[in-house]
Structure 1
């Protein structure tokens, strides 16, 4: 099984009434003006520990001299969600904003930080950097494409589906053992090596009293969001980003796998065009989980970008 080369410490801090689980590599003594804290924000149905391979690759390139934090978003991993059957996207921004003011983690909300987000996390950090531009020094978006454009006419059907999900909750899948969890991770990403998949399986799920392995996530995350995606609002946020932005995607990612022809590439390119300062890279041999597939190549791009004058 994979053995982390730079193991994290684990912290729990109160963020807006929730006990947030934080993976912490290093400490605030490593922070300088040129090397502020780096906060890693995971995607949907993922966890902060998912970045371990990237953190190890970064340590191989630059040593263990960067203060890095990765949270489990509300209702994911070891951060319990609120007593709710619905999650709302603005809460992620509010949680991030509160976390950046957490003195227990050496954050004061005044000095800008470096933010990296993957997938859903990429969308969160992009929106946040437009809403609070002075808080962000460097911004990294790993495949945070956003969602297809939605029409107002879709609102009634989405709301109806949401109400149906609330009436009929859908439990998360369970597994007979950790090998089943490992197989599920590799089903999602066939490029994930066995040793990494087994290590991730132990972070992503845990055994329950029923003898089954349970994914560490709130089943309420499976409920559809009743609100239509308003592209114009998203672009208004992206256009206000003042930090340099690094966009990285996998050469073998297929957005059509998720959205069919509802989200053409040209539309996404038009979204990126509103960002003022943009550096782009495509990683060969990587798909959507590029921080699992090519952590070394990603670490090289990340280090060069973060160390720009």
Structure 2
């Protein structure tokens, strides 16, 4: 597969862990930070970067426990991502609010962080994420019990005999994914085990369910504290529509939290917008952020 925008990787210390930071473009170009989602890694944005028409310095970290960043090999706590993003912005955008594209979990981290540090974000394009469905209080014992059970042993990832088998699985999972893109992802978003087999480059401990209930009102309080423009990108077959299409009043209630919020939809697209419609996503990125 021909990749028009080669990336380069940098290893940096972030909050006591070795982080892998992927860069595209020249260092002196306008900075654009891309944050990947759950069970993904930075190389996932390659097709979107290829579709950008302007010159950008795109920076995309592998979150802790993903890709080539250091893995904990134990349970993760979501709040650590806020501290990691804080440290990343201190390093790469210390003097200016950052332009951020956050897919799924990346959007969750950036939008909550943006309420605590509104001065650090100049704009957020939140891709197919508008919070989870809320838990009920009576679910708390079950959540803790599930966490305890999963924490007793080391979780496992599905193992593939070859990169070709992994690419075939990606194509089976997503009918919109082009074969050459599946091949690229199997090469750059997977790791080889000592026995020559392959797994997706994600610490399996990320699959352990949280013992904490999801409290959407607390999340929405952070959204209300954001001052930067926020654009939600929805996919017609993505998670936001699955969760809220039948509850438009809830979608509007959540969007109303953002002082300057808007919505843009992409058709013929699943949750992984950056794989299914990277050209349309790139166009929305460049129409949302002022190029300077």
Same fold (TM over 0.5): yes
**Equivalence map 1:147-186=2 (5 Å):** 147-186=132-171
Cα deviation code 1:179-223 (max 9, x no counterpart): 111122223321100000100111121222212112211111111
Q: Between Structure 1 and Structure 2, how many residues are aligned?
A: 292
Deviation at 1:4, TM superposition (A): 1.5
Deviation at 1:301, TM superposition (A): 1.5
CA distance in 1, matches of 2:141, 2:181: 43
Does structure 1 retain, via aligned residues, the 8 Å contact 2:129–2:240? no
TM-score of the two chains, using structure 1 as the length reference: 0.89
Structure 2: gaps of 5 or more residues: none
CA distance in 1, matches of 2:226, 2:3: 34
Q: Determine which of 128, 134, 140 is the counterpart of 1:143.
A: 128
Does structure 2 retain, via aligned residues, the 8 Å contact 1:192–1:293? yes
Counterpart secondary structure, 1:281: strand
CA distance in 2, matches of 1:269, 1:152: 24
Specify the alignment match of 2:23 in structure 1.
24
Deviation at 1:308, TM superposition (A): 7.3
Specify the alignment match of 1:34 in structure 2.
none
Ranges of 4+ aligned residues in structure 1 off by more than 3 Å: 254-257, 263-266
Does structure 1 retain, via aligned residues, the 8 Å contact 2:128–2:239? no
**Equivalence map 1:55-66=2 (5 Å):** 55-58=49-52, 61-62=53-54, 65-66=55-56
The answer as to 2:75 corresponding to 1:86 is: yes
> RMSD between aligned alpha carbons?
2.0
Does structure 2 retain, via aligned residues, the 8 Å contact 1:45–1:217? yes
CA distance in 2, matches of 1:289, 1:188: 11
Specify the alignment match of 2:234 in structure 1.
249
CA distance in 2, matches of 1:234, 1:121: 14
Cα deviation code 1:106-143 (max 9, x no counterpart): x2533111011001111111111111110011111001
Does structure 1 retain, via aligned residues, the 8 Å contact 2:129–2:239? no
Does structure 1 retain, via aligned residues, the 8 Å contact 2:5–2:25? no
Deviation at 1:270, TM superposition (A): 1.5
Specify the alignment match of 2:65 in structure 1.
75
Counterpart secondary structure, 1:210: coil
Cα deviation code 1:152-175 (max 9, x no counterpart): 221111001100001133310100
Deviation at 1:256, TM superposition (A): 7.9
Deviation at 1:12, TM superposition (A): 0.7
TM-score of the two chains, using structure 2 as the length reference: 0.94
CA distance in 2, matches of 1:198, 1:218: 21
